[in-house]
Every structure is written in structure tokens, then in C-alpha cells.
Amino acid sequence: MGGAILHLGASVACAHGGPATPTAPYSRVTVSGRPVVTIAAPYTIAHCNLPWPAEALRCTGGQWLQGSTRVFAGGRALVLDSSTSMCVPNGAAMVVMECQLRVTAL
């Protein structure tokens, strides 16, 4: 399944609304003037809003599990707005809120 390519600056959050940021975007390839994100880059999540009493399970990081199948950057699959993900430690998904729509991949 294809989708829009995520880049540094795309709005991503955990399922509970905590903003997520990639730790290592791939700077040799850019989209809309910003580095793309590959599935190898883990995300950090700040301010997860998981309510009490589950505070100990608040999202702290996330990883994309599936990416593009035909387009790669540095030999790694790109993260698409349709990619699947998982947050640590509770297994919730990350959600793409907003990203560029001009460049798509399969």
C-alpha cells in the first residue's frame, strides 16, 4: 500500500496525543526541503497523555514496523503515512497527524 513520505517536521503523535519526533532522519534525501525518515529511525515521545492509573505505561518511544517496498533511502525503507508502528512500553500505535502530500511512494 502506498502513501505520502514522512519527513522531519511531519506531525506524528502516539495514540494518546504525545508528540513524537524522529531521532535520526536521513539527511541525504529531502522532501519539501526536509530530511526523510526511514523505518530504522526510532522516535522519542514526550508528554504522553495516558491517564492515571496507567502512568507507568506512558509512551516513551516508538518504532515504525513497515515502510515503503519499492522506494528506499540509504538502503532502508521510507516511512509512509500508511505505515504501521508500535510505541514502547504499551504497544499503542503512532498516528500521522499531518505530513507533506506532494511526494508518494509504494
Average pLDDT, the chain: 95
Mean pLDDT, range 23-43, rounded to an integer? 97
DSSP 8-state class, residue 100? -
Mean pLDDT, range 12-22, rounded to an integer? 97
Q: What is the pLDDT of residues 75-84, one digit of tens each?
A: 999 999 999 9
Q: What is the pLDDT of residues 50-69, one digit of tens each?
A: 888 888 899 999 999 999 99
Q: What pLDDT shows up at residue 22?
A: 98
CB atoms within 10 A of CB 46: 12
Q: Residue 33 phi/psi, 5° resolution? A: 80, 10
Instruction: Indicate the class that CATH gives domain 3-105.
Output: mainly beta
